[in-house]
């Protein structure tokens, strides 16, 4: 599987407040963008201030590359889900954009998003640009592992930009484990807004971090596929990739 990355300066039009775990002031995002070739097509990754802020899918009208699913290697089981006070299952949610994670940073990869080889690129830029380049390099590597069937969970600093309701929905999506699916009504109940399925659906449709915030794991109440920003074939590919009953390698 070939993963190619190009890195450019990016500027997001979003100026909404950020509250994945901590409240952050409303600022205009400026960072780096990288284009990564994947089985879904080219994904555009955007990092800002040492955190991943956006993953853009190809449009539903753009065809997917003809990439077969990889053989499923042996992976140790994920942690067993815990139960919240109401008895509902939940899987541990990775920390989002905590000061400790941002201070520790991510080691740059040997090649990829962190090394553009161009004057004025991340290699000659300040610490903020280098931190963004390191996040993009780590995201590229982890996406390659995920699409290769060698990774079930992502370990990246994330910053979710949206309304408080949207962020609640996106954080609930992060609790839907690899290979599992859930429904809009279940997410609505999980965030304490039973009956808000339509609003949840709108928030899911606005998810800024496709694949990593796994909105593809949301299905209809009858188990059927529902809408997906990149088109239903991409959603089906991701769900098939995560199926536990795929053949093991010899």
Give catalytic residue positions: 215
Residue 25: both structure tokens together: 């002031």
Residue 209: both structure tokens together: 């971090």
Length, in residues, of the chain? 250
Residues 69 and 144: beta-carbon distance below 8 Å: no
Nearest to 243 by CA among 114, 118, 75, 41: 75
Residues 155 and 174: beta-carbon distance below 8 Å: no
Residues 20 and 102: beta-carbon distance below 8 Å: no
Residues 181 and 239: beta-carbon distance below 8 Å: yes
3-state secondary structure of 181: coil
Nearest to 114 by CA among 106, 122, 103: 122
* Cα gap 162→141, rounded to integer Å: 27
Label the pairing between strands 41-48 and 51-56: antiparallel
Residues 48 and 100: beta-carbon distance below 8 Å: no
């Amino acid at each position: 599987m070939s993963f190619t990355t190009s890195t450019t300066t990016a500027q997001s039009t979003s100026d909404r407040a950020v509250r994945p775990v901590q409240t952050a002031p409303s600022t205009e995002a400026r960072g780096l963008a990288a284009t990564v070739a994947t089985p879904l097509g080219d994904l555009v990754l955007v990092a800002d201030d040492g955190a991943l802020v956006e993953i853009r899918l190809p449009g539903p009208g753009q065809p997917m590359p003809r990439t077969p699913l990889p053989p499923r290697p042996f992976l140790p089981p994920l942690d067993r889900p815990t139960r919240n006070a109401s008895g509902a299952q939940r899987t541990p949610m990775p920390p989002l954009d905590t000061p400790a994670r941002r201070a520790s940073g991510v080691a740059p990869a040997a090649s990829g998003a962190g090394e553009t080889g161009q004057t004025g690129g991340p290699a000659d830029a300040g610490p903020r640009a280098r931190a963004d380049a390191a996040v993009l390099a780590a995201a590229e590597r982890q996406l390659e592992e995920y699409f290769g069937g060698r990774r079930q969970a992502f370990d990246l600093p994330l910053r979710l930009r949206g309304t408080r309701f949207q962020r609640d929905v996106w954080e609930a999506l992060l609790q839907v484990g690899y290979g599992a699916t859930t429904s809009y009504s279940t997410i609505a109940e999980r965030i304490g807004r039973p009956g808000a399925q339509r609003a949840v659906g709108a928030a899911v449709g606005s998810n800024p971090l496709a694949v990593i915030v796994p909105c593809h794991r949301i299905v209809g109440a009858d188990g059927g596929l529902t809408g997906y920003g990149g088109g239903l074939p991409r959603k089906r590919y991701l769900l098939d990739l995560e199926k536990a009953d795929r053949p093991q390698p010899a």
